[in-house]
């Protein structure tokens, strides 16, 4: 697994090469993901619909859409372009296309992408911009408040009782409506956000111990366990796989 990150633009390319990793139900926070199958076959499930993709197929996952990915048979290779919604809000399509093309060309230089594959990503980018305009982000106010609280402070020890009291509903109502809107339980959503924050901290030089403490895990082994469950590799392997794009 390799990660190519460009933090100033909140853009990331994630490469999985000849792997049989499986990814259980999860979603991406404020991120559009464009996946391109480089080799092999995978099964993608989203909105309870199952899709099978093979070499050169491409798919788009909008923010907060719960999905899973498993190999169909044997190993597979995939590269995923992750684009933050903030990037789409601050760059029009033509500007965004040029920036992403320049970043993708660095992967061409490294031998992980071809020019036709870059073009496929850029064609998909236009669809992403269209989706961003049409995306209905009108969650119920209660769920929005709970979601924002978890997103901005994932490291806090926010119990269901405390969370439900802050948004003035019962915890059973909160769990049901939160899962209906976000696709994950509040606890699972919090763990996922802790790991996303951990990736950011590790990328910016925090040690494993500092990162575990800063993201609310009570010990390093607990942190490593959840990191590997969500990212697919350990924090050390993640750091070794990183390359920062200019």
Same domain, 7 and 112: yes
Tell which of 89, 107, 134 closes a domain: 134
Given a cut of 70, is residue 140 above it in pLDDT? no
- Check: CB of residue 106 under 8 Å from CB of residue 61: no
Same domain, 126 and 17: yes
DSSP tag of 183: S
61 closest CA partner among 35, 36, 85, 24: 35
- Check: CB of residue 68 under 8 Å from CB of residue 26: yes
Same domain, 145 and 214: yes
| Look-up of token digits 């990814």 | 23
Same domain, 168 and 233: yes
Q: What is the CATH number of the domain that holds 76?
A: 2.60.120.10
Top-confidence residue, 137 or 175: 175
Given a cut of 60, is residue 230 above it in pLDDT? yes
Helix 115-134 to helix 93-109 angle (10° resolution) is 150
Q: What is the CATH number of the domain that holds 210?
A: 1.10.10.60
pLDDT digits (tens, 9 = 90+) for 169-218: 778 888 888 888 888 999 999 999 999 999 999 999 999 999 999 999 98
Write the CB contacts of 33 (distance below 8 Å, at least 6 apart in sequence). Answer: 60, 61, 80, 81, 82, 83
Same domain, 106 and 22: yes
Same domain, 92 and 47: yes
119 torsion bin: left (phi>0), alpha (psi -120 to 50), beta (else): alpha
Tell which of 134, 149, 166 closes a domain: 134
- Check: CB of residue 239 under 8 Å from CB of residue 245: no
Same domain, 121 and 12: yes
Same domain, 70 and 158: no
**Number of independent structural domains in the chain:** 2
Helices (H), the chain: 85-90, 93-109, 115-134, 141-152, 160-166, 171-182, 186-203, 208-214, 220-231, 235-241
pLDDT digits (tens, 9 = 90+) for 146-178: 888 899 999 998 888 888 887 767 788 888 888
Same domain, 169 and 99: no
Same domain, 128 and 152: no
**Domain with 214 in it:** 141-244
Same domain, 130 and 163: no
pLDDT band with cut points at 50, 70 and 90 for residue 137 = very low
Tell which of 109, 134, 159 closes a domain: 134
Same domain, 122 and 166: no
């Amino acid at each position: 697994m390799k990660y190519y990150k460009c933090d100033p633009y909140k853009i990331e390319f994630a490469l999985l090469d000849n792997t049989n990793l499986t990814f259980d139900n999860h979603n991406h926070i404020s991120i559009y993901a464009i996946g391109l199958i480089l080799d092999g076959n995978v099964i993608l499930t989203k909105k309870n619909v199952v899709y099978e993709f093979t070499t050169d197929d491409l798919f788009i996952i909008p923010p907060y859409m719960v999905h899973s990915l498993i190999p169909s048979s044997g190993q597979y290779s995939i590269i995923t372009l992750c684009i933050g919604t903030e990037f789409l809000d601050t760059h029009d399509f033509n500007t965004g296309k040029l920036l992403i093309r320049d970043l993708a060309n660095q992967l061409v230089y490294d031998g992980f992408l071809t020019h036709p594959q870059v073009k496929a990503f850029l064609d998909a980018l236009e669809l992403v911009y269209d989706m961003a305009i049409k995306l209905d982000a009108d969650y119920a106010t209660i769920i929005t408040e709970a979601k924002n609280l978890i997103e901005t402070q994932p490291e806090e020890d926010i119990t269901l009782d405390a969370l439900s009291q802050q948004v003035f509903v019962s915890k059973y109502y909160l769990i049901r409506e939160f899962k209906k809107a976000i696709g994950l339980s509040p606890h699972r959503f919090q763990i996922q956000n802790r790991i996303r924050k951990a990736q950011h901290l590790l990328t910016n030089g925090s040690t494993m111990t500092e990162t575990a403490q800063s993201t609310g895990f009570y010990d390093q082994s607990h942190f490593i366990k959840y990191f590997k469950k969500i990212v697919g590799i350990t924090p050390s392997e993640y750091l070794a796989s990183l390359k920062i794009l200019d």
